[in-house]
Amino acid sequence: MQADLTMGNLASALTFESEEAALIAELQAGSEEAFAWLITRYHQPIFSLLARAVQDREAAADLTQEVFVKVFRGVGGFHGESSLRTWIYRIALHEASNHRRWWTRHRQAEIPIEQEMVESESGQPVRLKELLEDPAESPYELVLHRENKARVEAALSKVPEPFRSTLILRDIEGFVYEEVAELQGVNLGTVKSRLVRGRAALKAILTAPAESVRYQPRAEYEMPLGEEAQ
């Protein structure tokens, strides 16, 4: 049984790799159909990533378009050093980082998401990714889900970088640790450190009294990046 599962996983991986190689070849040949498929597949995930990273939906929409322009222009030089998905997400993270630097240089404060903090009725821990999904539920459940989602999104926006991006990539987008390390250009220990501290920051914000959330101290989470993996 175990051998059958292993062979099945291997076959699936080989099929995926061959399909991705074929897609890349079509993209590099200038296929409009392949590029249209790529946009359909990745537009919403990339927009969601950027919206959470820069906390501005209009800016995220513009950045998403820029990401795909750069994918279109750069795919000819893509040689498969990583997966296509990882490469696209790396471009998106680079655009988000550039946007934040531009924002800082122009001395404009980011606009926080103002939402009333509400407590979960069950009091049970819920995975971040589960709170941010869009399930098909009853009207009552949908309202409750939206309240929880707004609460988590508001808290997530208050987690300082680079911990917020690490949370988004690992807990929401589902990248494995090694992929997050590759995307962020850091070692595995740094990713794990950022994830632990990011989750701790998010938990502290979510469990703080509503009136104190606005004044959540950040110094506690700000450490020279070189110290994170120690």
We report the CATH number of the domain holding residue 91 as 1.10.1740.10
Torsion of CA 57, 58, 60, 64, to 10 degrees: 130
pLDDT at 225: 41
Q: Are 179 and 86 in contact (CB under 8 A)?
A: yes
H-assigned helices in 55-132: 57-74, 84-105, 128-131
Enter the tokens of residue 57: 């939906």
What is the three-class DSSP state of 154? Answer: helix
Residue 113 φ/ψ region, left for φ over 0, alpha for ψ in the -120 to 50 degree band, beta for the rest: beta
Write down which residue in 73, 108, 143 finishes a domain: 108
Instruction: Evaluate the CA torsion angle 120, 177, 86, 93 in order and state its sign.
Output: positive
Query: Same domain for 19 and 83?
Result: yes
Residue 207, pLDDT score: 85
Residue 113, in any domain of the structure = no
At residue 56, the pLDDT reads: 85
pLDDT score of 191: 92
Q: How many residues does the chain have?
A: 230
Angle between helices 2-28 and 32-54 (to 10 degrees): 100
| Six token digits for residue 30 | 């200038």
- For 42, other C-beta atoms within 10 Å of its C-beta total 20
191 within 8 A of 197, measured Cβ to Cβ: no
Statement to judge: residues 102 and 144 lie in one domain: no
Is residue 171 included in any domain, yes or no? yes
Residue 187 makes CB contacts below 8 A (sequence gap 6+) with 181, 229
pLDDT, position 112: 40
Q: In this structure, are 94 and 156 located in the same domain?
A: no
User: What is the distance of C-alpha 21 from the center of its chain?
Assistant: 25
**What is the extent of the structural domain holding 151?**
132-230
83 and 150 housed in the same domain? no
Which regions of the chain are under pLDDT 50? 1-3, 5, 7, 10-11, 13-14, 107-120, 135, 212-230
Query: Could you tell me if 165 and 95 are in contact, meaning their C-beta atoms sit under 8 angstroms apart?
Result: no
Question: Would you state the pLDDT for residue 55?
Answer: 83
95 and 36 belong to one structural domain = yes
| Inside any domain, residue 116 | no
State how far the Cα of 34 lies from the Cα of 95, in Å rounded to an integer: 23
Query: Are 65 and 102 found together in one domain?
Result: yes
Tokens of 230: 């120690």
Are 172 and 221 found together in one domain? yes
For position 129, what pLDDT does the model report? 63
Q: How many structural domains comprise the chain?
A: 2
Point out the domain boundary residue: 92, 108, 124.
108
| Predicted TM-score of the model (pTM) | 0.58
Residues 201 and 150 in one domain: yes
Q: Is the domain of 142 the same as that of 103?
A: no
Residue 150 maps to which CATH number?
A: 1.10.10.10
